[in-house]
C-alpha cells in the first residue's frame, strides 16, 4: 500500500471505526510475511495496512482483482500503492499472467515488503467462502510464512453497495506466523495446495469465531 500515505494520513480516520486490535505482538519488525485475511468489505483494503505498516515501517503490497485496473481512477491509486493484479480464470492468458504476478510478489517479499492476500478472492456475506489455492502456491514457492488475520464486523462498517461507513465498529485479530517447512522441498500437488490453503483458512476461521467446512 502507499507509503508513507497509508502510515500518516489514513490511520487516524480509519481508527474511528476500529474497536479493538488483538495479537499485535505477533507482528515482528524483522520478519517478512504474507498477510492472509477474510474479506467481507472494501473497508478491509486499508484496515490491515494501517495496523501493520506503522508496526514494521515498510511498504506493503496487495493482490487485487485485475478488473480494477480498467478504471483510470482506481488504476492510478493501485499503481501508486503497489497493487499486484491477479486475473480470474476466464481471462485470456490468465494462468501465465498470474505466474508473472506471483514472481513479482516474491520479488517484493525478498525486499522484505509484505503482501496482503484475501484467499477467498472476493467479498463474502460475513461467512467464510472457500479459499483459493493461490495463497498456498505463493507460500510454498516463496518459503515465506503466512500471518493469518481475522476481521470481524467490517461488513457492518461498510456493507456491500454502500459508499460511506456506517456508525459501527470492527475488530481485528492477528494470529501467529504459520510456517510450512515440511512442504517446501516437495512438488506442490493439488492435495498439498489444498491442505495448506485449508490450514490457513481454518486459522482465519478460528480468529473470526467461525468454522471452515470447505
Q: Provide the CATH number for the domain around residue 81.
A: 3.40.1130.10
Domain contains 163: yes
Asked whether residue 214 is assigned to any structural domain, the reply reads no
- How confident is the model over 19-33, as a mean pLDDT? 93
9 within some domain: yes
Please check whether residue 111 lies inside any domain of the structure: yes
pTM for this predicted structure: 0.90
Q: Which three cell numbers stand for residue 203?
A: 486459522
pLDDT at residue 151, rounded to an integer:
97
Number of domains present in the structure of the chain? 1
Whole-number pLDDT of residue 2: 46
Across the beta sheet with 61-65, what order do the strands follow? 18-22, 170-174, 146-152, 34-37, 115-117, 61-65, 83-86
pLDDT digits (tens, 9 = 90+) for 47-88: 998 899 888 988 899 999 888 888 888 888 888 878 999 988
Show the beta-strand stretches assigned E in the chain.
18-22, 34-37, 61-65, 83-86, 115-117, 146-152, 170-174
Tens-place pLDDT, residues 157-170: 898 888 888 888 89
Angle (CA) 184-148-196 rounded to 5° is 35
Q: What is the mean pLDDT of the chain?
A: 89
Residue 192 belongs to some domain of the structure: yes
pLDDT at 7: 54
**Of 38 and 5, the one with more pLDDT:** 38
- State the residue range of the domain holding 124: 5-208
Q: Is residue 100 part of a domain?
A: yes
Between 5 and 185, where is the model more confident? 185
Q: What is the rounded CA–CA span in Å between residue 179 and residue 158?
A: 33
Question: What pLDDT is stored for residue 90 in this prediction?
Answer: 77
Residue 202 lies in a domain: yes
pLDDT at 16: 80
How confident is the model at residue 84, as a pLDDT? Answer: 93
Q: Residue 5's pLDDT is what?
A: 52
Give Cα separations from 29 to 5, 24, 99 (angstroms).
19, 11, 28
Is the pLDDT reported for residue 214 higher than 80? Answer: yes
Which phi-psi region, left, alpha or beta, contains residue 57 (left: φ > 0; alpha: ψ -120 to 50)?
left
What lies within 8 Å, CB to CB, of 120 at 6+ separation is 38, 39, 128, 129, 130, 131, 132
Q: Work out the percent of the chain whose per-residue pLDDT is above 70.
A: 93
On whether residue 213 sits in a domain, the answer given is: no
Q: Answer positive or negative: Cα dihedral of 177, 56, 138, 75.
A: positive
Amino acid at each position: 500500500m502507499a507509503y508513507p500515505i497509508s502510515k500518516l494520513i489514513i490511520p487516524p480516520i480509519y481508527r474511528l471505526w476500529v474497536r479493538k486490535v488483538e495479537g499485535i505482538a505477533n507482528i515482528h519488525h524483522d520478519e517478512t510475511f504474507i498477510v492472509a485475511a477474510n474479506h467481507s468489505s472494501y473497508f478491509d483494503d486499508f484496515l490491515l495496512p494501517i495496523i501493520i505498516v506503522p508496526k514494521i515501517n515498510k511498504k506493503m503490497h496487495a493482490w487485487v482483482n485485475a478488473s480494477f485496473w480498467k478504471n483510470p481512477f482506481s488504476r492510478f491509486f493501485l499503481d501508486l500503492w503497489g497493487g499486484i493484479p491477479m486475473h480470474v480464470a476466464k481471462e485470456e492468458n490468465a494462468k501465465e499472467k498470474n505466474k508473472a504476478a506471483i514472481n513479482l510478489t516474491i520479488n517484493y517479499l525478498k525486499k522484505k515488503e509484505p503482501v496482503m492476500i484475501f484467499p477467498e478472492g472476493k467479498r463474502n456475506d460475513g461467512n467464510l467462502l472457500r479459499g483459493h489455492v493461490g495463497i498456498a502456491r505463493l507460500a510454498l514457492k516463496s518459503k515465506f510464512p503466512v500471518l493469518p488475520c481475522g476481521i470481524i464486523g467490517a461488513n457492518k462498517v461498510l456493507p456491500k453497495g454502500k459508499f460511506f461507513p456506517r456508525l459501527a465498529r470492527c475488530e481485528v485479530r492477528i494470529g501467529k506466523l504459520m510456517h510450512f517447512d515440511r512442504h517446501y522441498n516437495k512438488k506442490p500437488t493439488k492435495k498439498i495446495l489444498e491442505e495448506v490453503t485449508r490450514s490457513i483458512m481454518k486459522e482465519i476461521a478460528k480468529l473470526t469465531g467461525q468454522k471452515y467446512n470447505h
